[in-house]
């Protein structure tokens, strides 16, 4: 467990610097009765609202506002719980590590399944993104043990950037509701694409490239550290 306690947090996202300052500012102003566990629960509630907002677009595209609000709530709880513990010097490395990774997977399940059950993106595509997210999460956990490196971002992109991307797409569809009913038939694959499918394809391809390149890079490093024995 010492690897978990000493793992270096690597945060190099586009919004990372300003986000850290905002989170510390918010953590310093939380009432004493607010705990990290409470904020973790707030993050789960936000993830549930995100998925619910996506699903409710069956009844109107305006429900995407609920999805965007859920993403903001999720960011607030999910990003602030650890910062609050560090600001108060009340870290629980083992418990926090376990809870954070477990809840992250639950949060993403709410979001991706909710999106996949909406008319905006095909379920199989949403699940493909979810699977790739889980694969990257596993890779992060392995590296936290093997080289004490806790990587939060890849290619300058992290959870906050992906949240902002979804909020931007939500806002675009709300501002131009005709886009929500637009679809594209792709004869080569005999499939009709929903409004979010192009975004889902881009995210899937990006995550796949990041995951494969990360595996190759990490495997080469570990091979040098642990060479064959003859």
pTM score, whole prediction: 0.85
| pLDDT value for 3 | 46
The dihedral formed by the CA atoms of 100, 19, 128 and 115, expressed in degrees to the nearest 10: 90
Task: Identify whether the C-beta of residue 23 lies closer than 8 Å to the C-beta of residue 80.
Answer: yes
Alpha-carbon span 9 to 151, nearest angstrom: 6
Closest CA to 160 of 9, 14, 8: 14
Q: What is the pLDDT of residue 128?
A: 93
Q: How many residues does the chain have?
A: 230
Looking at domain 2-225, its CATH class is: mainly alpha
Res 2: pLDDT? 45
Instruction: Give the domain ranges of the chain.
Output: 2-225
- Mean pLDDT in consecutive groups of 10 residues from the start of the chain, 230 residues: 51 72 91 93 97 95 95 94 90 86 92 93 91 89 76 69 89 83 66 78 88 89 83
The pLDDT assigned to 9 comes to: 59
Q: What is the CA radius of gyration of the chain?
A: 19
């Amino acid at each position: 467990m010492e690897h978990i306690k000493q793992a270096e947090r690597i945060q190099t996202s586009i919004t990372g610097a300003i986000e850290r300052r905002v989170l510390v500012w918010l953590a310093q102003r939380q009432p004493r009765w607010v705990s990290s566990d409470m904020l973790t629960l707030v993050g789960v509630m936000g993830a549930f609202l995100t998925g619910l907002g996506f699903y409710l677009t069956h009844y109107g595209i305006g429900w995407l506002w609920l999805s965007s609000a859920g993403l903001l709530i999720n960011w607030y709880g999910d990003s602030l719980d650890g910062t609050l513990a560090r600001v108060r010097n009340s870290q629980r490395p083992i418990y926090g590590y376990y809870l954070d990774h477990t809840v992250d997977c639950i949060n993403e399940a709410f979001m991706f399944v909710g999106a996949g059950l909406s008319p905006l993106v095909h379920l199989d595509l949403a699940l493909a993104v979810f699977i790739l997210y889980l694969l990257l999460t596993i890779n992060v956990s392995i590296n936290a043990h093997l080289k004490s490196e806790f990587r939060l971002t890849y290619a300058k992109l992290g959870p906050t950037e992906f949240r902002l991307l979804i909020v931007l797409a939500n806002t675009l569809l709300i501002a131009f509701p005709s886009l929500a009913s637009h679809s594209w038939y792709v004869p080569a694959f005999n499939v009709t694409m929903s409004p979010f499918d192009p975004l889902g394809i881009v995210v899937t391809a990006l995550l796949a490239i990041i995951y494969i390149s990360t595996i190759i890079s990490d495997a080469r490093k570990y091979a040098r550290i642990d060479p064959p024995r003859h």
